[in-house]
Structure 1
Amino acid sequence: KEGDHSPSLLVPPTMPISSFPLSSVPTSTQTNPCLLSPLSGRDQPQARLKLAKKCPQSTKVSNGSLSVGRAQLLTKQVSPVPNLSKHKKMTRRRATNGWRPVGIPTEREVFVAGEDEAAVRQCYEGVERDGEVIHVRDTVLLRSGPRKKSLPYVAKISALWEDPKTGELMMSLFWYYRPEHTQGGRDPSTHCENEIFASRHQDENSVACIEDRCYVLPLAQYCRFCALVKRRAEGAPPGRARVVPFRPDFAPPSHRCVPMDVDPELVYLCRHVYDFRYGRILKNLQ
């Protein structure tokens, strides 16, 4: 249906592409990083296009909340018809921007922005749209601005769950930082073109913000991928001998298995970690 694929309204991120969406109110486990962006204040006007949510969430009443209020009024009537209407509305909210849940929901503890502790939610194995399935632990691109040239945000999904108040499909995630989003900025002599940094910055967002799936690889696997792309571009035949024989039991995780026909622009290199609390780059998670 066309309604499933049409973008809906969401609250924009705290910062445009020259910065990164960070929580403006620190929780017990997070503190605000200090970014060098003049546009990260609260006076920035909100866009009306469906973008990645602000963190923390805006206090503006969402359309889902209004729908729930209307549904509660309808349930007070004697006729069973309003109950069917409520069920249909909930189904449309679950199919956010065409994404539909995959699998049987199970109760799990997930990260929810603004909560001091993990919250129990009905979680799904993945989401599907037009035959494309995205699972937990996959990395995705999220819409960052109204312009097509706006670089999307990169995030790794940690959980897919349903909002008990609105029925909207949500995801808990870990943000990746581009060099442009760090205090030091991008250094062409140090950073690769598609290099990003992992982080422990957790957040939540609607699955409607997902633009596409992407792949984040460690240095060794990324170098092999670039070599393969170059061989194909030059028309070189594939290598016949392997230095290390292939073993299925030692295959890379599914979220790192890059398809043969993938767009190289959807493949990123990650070899460092960005400490968003102190604005420094670390070599590893330890």
Structure 2
Amino acid sequence: MSPLTPEEIRALLDEVDLLVDEGLSTAIFLTLTLGQPLLLEGEPGVGKTATAKALARALGTPLIRLQCYEGLTVNEALYEWNFQRQLLAIRLASGSAVTEADLFTEEYLLERPILRAVRHPGPTAPVLLIDEIDRADDEFEAMLFEFLGEGSVTVPELGTFTAARRPLVVLTSNRSRELHDALRRRCLYHWIAFPDPPRAVEILRRKVPSAAYPLISSTTRFITQARGLDLDKAPGMAEAIDWVSALSALGAADLGRDDAVRTLGCIAKTPDDQAAMLDALERTP
């Protein structure tokens, strides 16, 4: 059971500069209490990865990260064997019989992120971030089912390893493809939406303390307006933070057209989006 309430979790995250709403703090509370993985979805840049990182800092526990990508294999995610050391052992045997059992032992096992989280020796369970699971293949998702459901990993040559302290697993997805229903069933779920303007202002004030309040307020209004345009990629909070940081570095105290145009690449990531935002700037009073 988690000794923390949702309100206490929210306060702890606030101390490490992550502002979360009641929904997310409750989802984290349930993950800690029930021991189930937490699947976070939302647009890129809304803070899914940052949530896992901040949670590890807030709880004072290690963060172990697995960055997913197309073609990710079991060897890269769970474990693999140190073939170079195995080959060296065969050579050093100098003609003595070396069996398969001699070579596939703990001595030659290389832990990758998931197995490392399962076998973590510390007094507290680590936070395991499985980042952008939607980038991995369907087959990789299926491979995760044993771990997500039972907190264990099977190494055929050695047996099954089960976590003494089940890691706090956070999966993130940008919804670039649909995830297996079987994976979703094993997870608690929370959608992180782009924050409303008042909370976006508070986040920007926290992340860019050097920026003037009128600059933060005016950029928030414009980004909220821009997110209503037909864009290839709507700007998220990550882009908003970059933009305010850039404008503040230029000495801007408010959002002026010239400075906005010079720094538009912070929030507009394609030529079409830049054109749409330039047009919006022209129409902004």
| TM-score bracket, shorter-length normalisation | under 0.3
Higher RCO (CA < 8 A, seq sep 6+): 2
Q: Which structure is higher in strand share?
A: 1
Q: Which has the larger radius of gyration?
A: 2
TM-score computed with the length of structure 2 as normaliser:
0.25
TM-score computed with the length of structure 1 as normaliser:
0.25
Q: Which structure is higher in helix share?
A: 2
